[in-house]
Amino acid sequence: MELTHCINYLLTTAQRRVFQAMSARLEPYDVTPVQYGVLYYLWETDIHTPREIADRLQLENSTISGVLERMEKKNLIERQVSKKDRRYIEVVLTDKGASLKDDVLRTVEQFNDDVMTAFSPEEQDILKKSLEKLSTPSS
């Protein structure tokens, strides 16, 4: 099979281009795409432990640990002992992390709209459904 027709090659190169473009859009907020994922779950859900965040983002625990460490250094989050169960660590937003919500969500939404302009509405629907199908583990 020709390399440029291999699904892995196509997904990898497309993902790299999208990641780099999204990184550039988030740069003014000093947030990476992965850090955006963490912030999103803290802004929009009741997910607060590193393990829960890692599970949702489909990251290894060792990876999320480094991401959270860098976010803590940027004063976006804090890791605290859980008030409900002292055996657990919770991730909480700082004022700085909370203050980015509207601007970052608007930037990501605009970025998604810009990326999807390359596709008709029907193609957008097919692309999203196809990627969801590929990213969902088989039963």
Domain assignment present for 1: no
CATH number for position 43: 1.10.10.10
**Span 6-56, pLDDT tens digits:** 999 999 999 999 999 999 999 999 999 999 999 999 999 987 899 999 999
Is 112 among the domain residues?
no
What's the whole-number mean pLDDT along residues 83-90?
Answer: 85
139, pLDDT greater than 60: no
Asked whether residue 11 is domain-assigned, the answer is no
pLDDT of residue 82: 81
pLDDT at 107: 98
Q: Report if residue 65 sits inside a domain.
A: yes
| Domain enclosing residue 44, as ranges | 30-107
Residue 80 lies in a domain: yes
- Label the pairing between strands 89-93 and 77-81: antiparallel
Residues 6+ apart with CB under 8 A from 55: none
In sequence order, which residues have a C-beta less than 8 Å from that of residue 23 and are 6 or more positions away?
32, 33
> For the chain, what is the domain count?
1
